[in-house]
Amino acid sequence: MGFRFWIIVAGLLGALGVFLGAMGSHMLADTLTGDKAVFFEKAWRYHMIHVFAILFCSWLIWVFDHGMESHGSWSARLSAVFFFMGIVLFSGSLYMKAIMGGSPLIPLIPIGGMSFILGWVMIMVSGFRIPRF
């Protein structure tokens, strides 16, 4: 999965995030109160932050693929995968918890959080592997 793929994924997830944010502010405003509002806001915030992280990963993949060390792009690719998994598992589970109440997917929240952490660790690994121009 190259840099173009991750740019498209980021665009899709970004549009979904804006849609969900608008839905939470308008269509679900009466439903999302108290803890539900907190869960939804946290899901949305982590979702949108990591959309930009995926965009950054796509840039890193491009740098690696067009630099002198194209074999180094594995860490940036893995980072994008982890960020994607984090959005799906962490934010997705919190969205469900906010909208539907208690969710059987709650055990997925820490797995999604760990995916975010691993994504940032892989960004760090990428930093050590960036070619010098």
Check: CB of residue 57 under 8 Å from CB of residue 124.
Answer: no
C-alpha 99/C-alpha 78 separation (Å) is 31
How would residue 12 be classed by pLDDT, with cut points 50, 70 and 90? very high
pLDDT at 131: 60
Q: Which tokens go with 129?
A: 């592997």
Q: Which pLDDT value is given to residue 102?
A: 73
pLDDT tens readout for residues 99-122: 888 766 678 899 999 999 999 999
pLDDT of residue 100: 87
**What is the per-residue pLDDT for 69?**
63
Q: What is the mean pLDDT of residues 7-12?
A: 96
Radius of gyration (C-alpha) of the chain in whole angstroms: 16
Residue type at position 45: R
pLDDT of 107 reads 84
Q: What is the mean pLDDT of the chain?
A: 90
Residue 126's identity, in one-letter code, is S
DSSP 99-119: HHSS-TTTTHHHHHHHHHHHH
Q: Which residue has the higher pLDDT, 83 or 129?
A: 83
Q: Identify the domain containing residue 11 by its residue range.
A: 3-129
Please count the structural domains in the chain. Answer: 1
Q: What is the pLDDT of residue 120?
A: 97
CA gap 53, 84 in Å, rounded: 10
Q: For 43-81, what is each residue's pLDDT tens digit? A: 999 999 999 999 999 999 998 888 766 677 899 999 999
22-45: average pLDDT: 92
